Amino acid sequence: MGEGNNGLADMIFGNDYYKPLPINAQNDKGNTPLHLAVKSGASNMVEVLLRHGADSNATNNKGMTPLHLICKKYGDPTMLNLFLRINDELGRPVLINALDNKGKTPLVWALDHGNLHSAEVLLRRGADPRLGTPLNRICFYGDYWVELFFDIIDGRNQVVDINARDNEGDTPLNVAAACGNRNSTELLLRRGGDPNLVNNKGMTALHLICERSDVGDQAERFFAVNDEIGQQVLINARDNFGNIPLHLALNRGHRNLVGLLLRRGSDPNLANAEGSTPLHVINCKRNSDDNLPELFFDTNDEIDQRVLVDARDNLGNTPLHLALSRGHIDLVRLLLSRGSNPDLVNAEGSTPLHVICKRYQDDGLMKMYFEINKELNRPVRVDARDELGRTPLQLALTSLLPDAIDALLANGAALPSVFPPTVDDFRLRFNPEKYYENYVKLRVASGIMVIIKCLYKHGYEMDRTDALKIMKLFADFGLYEKSTSLEKYWYDDEKFVGKSKETMVMPSLSFYDLIQLSPKEAAKRVAPADYFKFACSGKWYTKEHGEACALHLCEKLSRRFFLGWALEYFMELVHYRLPVLCCDMIIEDLNNQDLCNICLAAGGRSS
């Protein structure tokens, strides 16, 4: 009976200490001794109990028989075969299709837990293949088991609902298609599987194939079988999100599948619930090194099918808007060459130029956009205003995009009437929930200095009003260095020193070397554009010294600007009674905040 089962046997059959219990007595969970013996794997005890009259079909509080428990727990059918064999010997029928409180048969439990060999035993013993959609579950496990399933039920002259839906609304065909089981898919189609039935998400088998990451020749075989048996596939069926299979294939980047779908009649202009056409999807999910957009257009050309290049989604965005927002310059070129309008606005009134100016990367995209349109002889409206009255240049100023500003001004944009933007403008642009405060500070300070130089290049002349605005912006944004004693603190941190020596501001200058340079020397060696590039890289940022690094760099990069204006204001304060060289020497060692105070004092007097 087994060493570990003596106590249980004594309790049931009795000894000097126990009175015998009823063989089918139940505990508080409704389990009989046979249930417990099955759960513990005590095969000898199972046999003893059965031969002493244990009820093979007794149910516990969950409605589960011992057979349910066996099929749920054991992948190896040894216990199952023992259980069935002994009951056969005793001439006791086992309810092989018993339903528990969840409506599950032993067969369903076996399949849910991957106990496929136990499932095979049950099927050969006559388990009903229609209860609980076992075929749907079997389709998860590969072609062999599906073929075996049909071999068994055919041999027993049993029937199954080939299009039965499970709790997710999936048919066996949907499951096989989603799992990439090609032979099972073909077998199910030939046995009457409907390729157009949808699951709870509105997805057909073709949707599920297109959504797979690895498709191979699955779709070709799917269509070939349906063609052979004369069954139509709804190529433009929509799921609950309005997506047709083409949307999903493009989203996954399945080049061959996209061509196949288009040649079989997929509509390249159908929009989903978000208003996105397949061309919008290409913009959202493409890789920079693929040629999916070219394939998409070329295939539509071959079948003489027109693509609406300026279709708008629910936000009013055209594919061109999306391509620019993601910096897909090759796709931008392709769309423009295919007739995209360079001036269409979205729901916010934003033209493609506005979209470029809302980006965070200043990567030359604006210049390339103008160049492409010039090649195509397409004029571009440079001063269009969005719904908030903002021009592209105003957005570029707030986004701190010097290259974009340069390209706009070079192509006819008017110089800004208001400069610089306000602190609130920058706060709105650089959301503090998304960007580190010290990153924003350094980007603003360095960006302003680069933009000033860019504006000068295009005829801007800074007056005292704008200069004071910039100084006040530095003050309001907290861009002035608080104490030079921070430098000693940095030097004492060996980890920081090591990292700063490895971090290059420019090829010939490390961050460590820059920190040690005097402001005057730093102004000679490092241009505002170098600071801006370094600021945007984020290489300088450390959690411990982020603020100190940012403010120190802000102090150095703006030094020349502050000295230049402070000299003029200081000479005015002393009524020009001192020589320029003398005034320069007096203010040279002042920090930027002191220089700002001089300018504000003089500005207040003059006003």
pLDDT digits over 225-272, tens only?
Answer: 999 999 999 999 999 999 999 999 999 999 999 999 999 999 999 999
Kindly indicate the confidence band of residue 2, based on its pLDDT and cuts at 50, 70 and 90. Answer: very low
Instruction: Extract the tokens encoding 545.
Output: 């010294």
DSSP alpha helix (H) spans, 326-401: 329-337, 352-357, 365-375, 392-399
Question: pLDDT digit string (tens) for 185-196?
Answer: 999 999 999 999
Residue 506 forms beta bridges with which residues?
A: 509
DSSP 425-472: HHHHHS-TTTS-HHHHHHHHHHHHHHHHHHHHHTT----HHHHHHHHH
The structural domains of the chain, with segments of one domain joined by +, span 437-604
- pTM recorded for the entire structure: 0.86
Residue 403 forms beta bridges with which residues?
A: none
- Most confident region among 232-236, 497-501, 529-533 by mean pLDDT: 232-236
76, 103, 553 from 439: Cα distances, Å: 61, 59, 11
Kindly indicate the confidence band of residue 94, based on its pLDDT and cuts at 50, 70 and 90. Answer: very high
What is the 8-class DSSP label of residue 4? G
Kindly indicate the confidence band of residue 4, based on its pLDDT and cuts at 50, 70 and 90. Answer: very low
Write down the number of H helices and E strands in the chain: 35, 2
Answer whether 253's CB lies under 8 Å from 286's CB: yes
Question: pLDDT digit string (tens) for 8-41?
Answer: 565 566 555 666 678 999 999 999 999 999 999 9
DSSP alpha helix (H) spans, 116-254: 116-124, 134-138, 143-155, 172-179, 182-190, 205-211, 218-228, 245-252
Q: Is 384 exposed, middle or buried (0-12, 13-18, 19+ CB in 10 A)?
A: middle
Question: pLDDT digit string (tens) for 332-341?
Answer: 999 999 999 9
Q: Does residue 22 have a cis peptide bond before it, meaning omega lies within 30 degrees of 0?
A: no
Instruction: Extract the tokens encoding 586.
Output: 């007096």
The fraction of the chain above a pLDDT of 70, given in percent, is: 93
> Which helix or strand (DSSP H or E) is residue 110 part of?
helix 106-112
What is the 8-class DSSP label of residue 298? H
Mean pLDDT in residue range 169-182? 97
**Cα dihedral 570/576/582/586 (nearest 10):** -20
